[in-house]
Structure 1
Amino acid sequence: MSTQNRKVGYYNFEFEKRGQVERFFDRAFFKDFIDYVMVLPSHEQVINIPRHNKAVAIDRYAVTSFHADFVVRIVFKSCKYNHSPEYMSSRDGSERNSDKKQHEGEKEKTHLCIRISSYEASLLLEERRNGVTINEITNYLNKKLKEYLTSLSRPKNLKIIYGTVPSENFLAMLETMEDIKVAEVITSKVHLGSEAMGVIEEEDHSMKEEVLVTMKAKPKESMAKRTFRKLFNSITANESKVSRIRLYGRDSSNNPLRIDSEPFKKVDYVVTELDDNGTVNTDSIFEKMFEVLDITGTSP
């Protein structure tokens, strides 16, 4: 059986309540919500992303226990529709008409493993250009969360926020900077109305979710490294208000230097088996994800 390296990214999920700055995680509620989504009728599990001509749905799932934690394995399926060009032969270049309908597309699988502990939901996501992104998964779950809250006759004032787990390379690059002139910090618009900033009193639904805050050093001065060391370390913390940092300055040789926390998010590569049709074998990749998440002594 053929094998292939697959990239997996590290994330986490938290809840954010409208009007409150601090994020939190509710293990029991999250587990019940996941159970709700997974048993929906298949047609209710499909959502469309019209601007990308893309549809996303649940292909399969499983929930198991590991010590005091729950482990959720979800296979998302997606397709790009409104695109059905002629087929071309790789042997002789000949062409034939496609029998694919405009609402159909080639199925793409994306594997997600979630370890739910008492204080967090740790995610390991297979990352592929043609797959389902962490942003699309979060939007998918938030759409279903509104439906779930409605079914419970509860206010629709909660949403799921994902966090990126960074690597340590950003801090190493930060130490090479001698002169930090400009910093860009990306945060959520909800913090503009918090007690910390108080810039806007009411949420503006026409405003993008992410807000860019720019800070500049005084003339002939440099901003302190400790400020951004602390901000970077806070990205992985539950109380973090920052999702990304970009710094502009110079290194010790006076060369311009720009560092960005986004490329330094933590990723791994796992060797997984492929099925005969060239797609990832689901049992194989989940077995590797279990190893990465330190879920030992059990099998997917």
Structure 2
Amino acid sequence: MNIAISGGTGFVGQSLTKLLQDKGHKIYILTRNNSRYENGIHYVQWLKDGTRPELELDNIDAIVNLAGISLNNGRWTKKQKKAIYTSRMNATLEIVRIMEVLKKKPNVLVNASAVGIYPTSTIATYAENVSDYATDFLGRTVYDWERHAKRAEKLNVRVALARFGVILGRDHGALPSMLLPYKLHVGGTIGSGEQWLSWIHVEDAARAIYFAITNDNINGPFNVTAPNATRMKEFGNTIATIMGSCHWLPVPSFAMRIALGEKSVLVLEGQHVLPNVLEKHHFEFKFPHLKEALENLL
């Protein structure tokens, strides 16, 4: 297949690109840099004045949209929140525009999303059929992100919305910063410790995207989380056990709110999210349990 990826040089994008190349697919990565062909990948310039990426994407079978400024980059100031929001909306609307002008439409758009669309709770569980959405900054951002992606359905393109949980990777994503206190032997429970962490190994995240590309029955949202979510206290204890470190110094909620501001919601609050759609279609997780995922990464 010919597969185009926006955000292909990012954390998840790199893992997905490697997977697709290993399976023999032809990859087109949308980039703000100049168009070029390098290491078997077609890099196509976009989102710059005068660029017409559609001219190089006339035979695409699938598009994966992972573009957007990371939630982990910097404090959530008013300016940063605007950048987080607009980067996602602009990229998604541009992808829809590209598809509109292509004579041959791709079969599927797999668009990134996030479990932040669900309200935070220590008692509720959320599957894809839930329509109770969060109304905070992250919830509104994800809702609009999905709404723009679904415009592609009017072009008879199947749209699959990958609602990612916390993606665990060795060198990128949230895990490296979460490991630091344990490397210094000052790790401990963050906040109450009762908040849920719906996580996914980066390798399974990439495999789930590929699964959605190749499975015509996956439409709309699908949660990209491991089937065994964990509470934050258990997450910290598991890290400490694997690293042979301590889990003794608690980090109170007020300290995290002072340090991170509004972004503290990412670690102080969470959702228990179930990957019902993936399991219904018999997706096999390589890392369904936290201990084996962390052992692999650490």
TM-score w.r.t. the length of structure 2 is: 0.29
- Bigger Cα Rg: 1
Q: Which structure has greater helix proportion? A: 2
Q: Higher relative contact order by CA 8 Å / sep ≥ 6: 1 or 2?
A: 1
* Higher relative strand content: 1
Q: When the two structures are superposed, what TM-score results if normalisation uses the length of structure 1?
A: 0.28
